[in-house]
């Protein structure tokens, strides 16, 4: 069975995380993704370790970081600064549907590989640029990193304990959400191309995405007129909706309505709290959280995490533990949903990868290719565009390819 995007070819000129993640999503959905890398060094993340995947002889080889974002791709090494390398990219563009790049503003224009130049070769090309601040604006020519954008967008101002410093999220959410929005933009542009034959430029910025992704936090400011503050793991608009310390760990409780609150209080052995006029509705609980939460915390602290997990499950109150990543992969739900996928790797070992979370009933995600070794597919890809063995040898001698 072929994937939903198996008729598409993607040129992935990006490196590190946001661009490669977008390319991996498209690859998981069936697209032929060609990862274009610098000769010798390749994607920066190939060396971002430890940890590294070890080969069959136990030698460190590929960094876990690189392996996490480059499944279902083929790798070709091309020097974009070399005229012959640029010619190869133009040749590939003529036979491609999508190009993803995350170079600084203007860098690819110096090589004639910008959208305007390449769309003249292939008018149907969907060209996605992923940068820190987009193709316009006062910051457009600045480098943008996930950490910087988490701070600049306001995300860190609402993350962390009230009496602690601003804190970044533990994963690169600005990169990853930009990748996902980028894929949405690409698919929308392809739909337009199907109707008109015209490609277009998809301009994605980490900063724009992170601001848009703040959702209700932004709206709390826009409607209420005040910037939300850090409140730890609690929720600005729902109470109780936070973590609580137990006798041996922590538990998360998410009470979404007044009926759940009554059942929650019954499970705690404190039904009187649900009858208290100050706590009868969520609006009142939000207004009186400083009075309610300490009482709940005192009760929950008396028993173990497992005790409360069992109690809340019995009364259908949303809850959960705080797992380590190891515990998350061991969780029965993660096992049932097959969130770990092991793939045979050319190094003679299996590489564990994280499953794509998209489940399609007719065209399911496929795991065809492990993250490629640097330049592993150069010869095959060049042969596909008519560059024979003698010509490839000449290009290597010139340094245009690796």
pLDDT tens for the 402 residues of the chain, in order: 579 999 999 999 999 999 999 999 999 999 999 999 999 999 999 999 999 999 999 999 999 999 999 999 999 999 999 999 999 999 999 999 999 999 999 999 999 999 999 999 999 999 999 999 999 999 999 988 999 999 999 999 999 999 999 999 999 999 999 999 999 999 999 999 999 999 999 999 999 999 999 999 999 999 999 999 999 999 989 999 999 999 999 999 999 999 999 999 999 999 999 999 999 999 999 999 999 999 999 999 999 999 999 999 999 999 999 999 999 999 999 999 999 999 999 999 999 999 999 999 999 999 999 999 999 999 999 999 999 999 999 999 999 999
Within this chain, do residues 276 and 162 fall inside the same structural domain, yes or no? Answer: no
Within this chain, do residues 286 and 143 fall inside the same structural domain, yes or no? Answer: no
Is-contact 148 132, C-beta < 8 A? Answer: yes
What pLDDT score does 2 carry? Answer: 77
| Residue 308 is assigned to a structural domain of this protein | yes
| Residue 1 is assigned to a structural domain of this protein | no
Which of 245, 261, 258 minimizes the C-alpha distance to 315? Answer: 261
Is-contact 61 68, C-beta < 8 A? Answer: no
| Residue 133 is assigned to a structural domain of this protein | yes
Within this chain, do residues 117 and 154 fall inside the same structural domain, yes or no? Answer: yes
Distance from C-alpha of 88 to C-alpha of 386, rounded to nearest angstrom: 10
Rg (CA), the chain: 25
Within this chain, do residues 311 and 190 fall inside the same structural domain, yes or no? Answer: no
Q: What is the count of structural domains for the chain? A: 2
Total residues found in the chain within this entry: 402
CATH (domain of 279): 3.30.1540.10
Q: Which helix (H) or strand (E) holds 129?
A: strand 126-131
Within this chain, do residues 46 and 111 fall inside the same structural domain, yes or no? Answer: yes
Distance from C-alpha of 221 to C-alpha of 217, rounded to nearest angstrom: 7
Within this chain, do residues 359 and 296 fall inside the same structural domain, yes or no? Answer: no
Domain boundary among 270, 291, 326: 326
Within this chain, do residues 183 and 319 fall inside the same structural domain, yes or no? Answer: no
| Residue 231 is assigned to a structural domain of this protein | no
Is-contact 178 209, C-beta < 8 A? Answer: yes
Which of 8, 71, 84 minimizes the C-alpha distance to 399? Answer: 84
Within this chain, do residues 188 and 262 fall inside the same structural domain, yes or no? Answer: no
| Residue 233 is assigned to a structural domain of this protein | no
| Residue 229 is assigned to a structural domain of this protein | no
| Residue 232 is assigned to a structural domain of this protein | no
Which of 123, 91, 110, 111 minimizes the C-alpha distance to 11? Answer: 91
What pLDDT score does 128 carry? Answer: 98
Residue 283 makes CB contacts below 8 A (sequence gap 6+) with none
What pLDDT score does 1 carry? Answer: 52
Is-contact 317 268, C-beta < 8 A? Answer: no
Q: How are strands ordered across the β-sheet holding 98-101?
A: 73-77, 32-37, 9-12, 98-101, 126-131, 200-205
What pLDDT score does 180 carry? Answer: 98
User: Does the annotation mark 203 as catalytic?
Assistant: no
Domain boundary among 292, 326, 360: 326
| Residue 393 is assigned to a structural domain of this protein | yes
Within this chain, do residues 192 and 311 fall inside the same structural domain, yes or no? Answer: no
Is-contact 19 101, C-beta < 8 A? Answer: yes
Distance from C-alpha of 193 to C-alpha of 195, rounded to nearest angstrom: 5
Domain boundary among 296, 326, 356: 326
CATH (domain of 161): 3.40.50.10540
Please state whether the predicted TM-score (pTM) of the whole model is above 0.85.
Answer: yes
- Planar angle of CA 55, 370, 65, nearest 5 degrees: 70
Within this chain, do residues 366 and 311 fall inside the same structural domain, yes or no? Answer: no
Residue 365 makes CB contacts below 8 A (sequence gap 6+) with 3, 28, 29, 355, 356, 358, 359
Catalytic option among 28, 114, 146, 175:
175
Within this chain, do residues 188 and 117 fall inside the same structural domain, yes or no? Answer: yes
Query: Which residue range forms the structural domain that includes residue 317?
Result: 241-326
Within this chain, do residues 138 and 247 fall inside the same structural domain, yes or no? Answer: no
């Amino acid at each position: 069975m072929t994937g939903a995007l198996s008729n598409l070819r993607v040129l992935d000129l990006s490196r590190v995380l946001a661009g490669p993640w977008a390319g991996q999503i498209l690859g998981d959905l069936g697209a032929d993704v060609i990862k274009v890398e610098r000769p010798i060094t390749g994607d920066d993340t190939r060396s971002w370790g430890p940890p590294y995947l070890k080969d069959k002889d136990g030698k460190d080889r590929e960094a876990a970081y690189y392996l996490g974002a480059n499944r279902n791709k083929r790798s070709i090494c091309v020097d974009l600064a070399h005229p012959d390398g640029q010619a190869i990219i133009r040749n590939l563009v003529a036979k491609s549907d999508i190009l993803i790049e995350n170079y600084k503003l203007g860098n690819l224009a110096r090589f004639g590989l910008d959208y305007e130049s390449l769309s003249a070769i292939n008018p149907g090309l969907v060209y996605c640029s992923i940068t820190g601040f987009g193709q316009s604006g006062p910051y457009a020519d600045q480098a943008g990193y996930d950490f910087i954008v988490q701070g600049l967008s306001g995300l860190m101002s609402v993350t962390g304990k009230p009496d602690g410093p601003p804190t970044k999220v533990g994963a690169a959410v600005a990169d990853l959400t930009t990748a996902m929005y980028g894929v949405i933009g690409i698919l929308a542009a392809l739909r337009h191309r199907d109707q008109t034959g015209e490609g277009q430029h998809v301009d994605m910025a980490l900063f724009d995405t992170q601001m848009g992704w703040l959702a209700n936090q932004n709206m709390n400011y826009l409607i209420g007129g005040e910037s939300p503050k850090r409140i730890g793991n609690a929720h600005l608009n729902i109470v109780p909706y936070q973590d609580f310390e137990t006798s041996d760990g922590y538990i998360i409780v998410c009470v979404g309505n007044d009926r759940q609150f009554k059942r929650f209080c019954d499970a705690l052995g404190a039904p009187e709290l649900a009858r208290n006029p100050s706590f009868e509705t969520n609006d009142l609980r939000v207004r009186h959280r400083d009075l309610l939460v300490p009482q709940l915390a005192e009760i929950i602290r008396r028993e173990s995490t497992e005790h409360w997990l069992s109690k809340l499950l019995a009364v259908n109150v949303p809850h959960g533990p705080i797992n380590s990543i190891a515990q998350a992969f061991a969780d029965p739900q993660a096992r049932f949903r097959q969130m770990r996928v092991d793939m045979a790797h050319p190094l003679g070992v299996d590489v564990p990868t994280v499953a794509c979370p998209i489940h399609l009933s007719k065209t399911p995600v496929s795991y065809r290719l492990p993250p490629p070794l640097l330049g592993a597919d150069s010869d095959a890809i060049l042969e596909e565009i008519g560059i024979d063995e003698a010509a490839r040898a000449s290009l290597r001698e010139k340094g245009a390819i690796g």
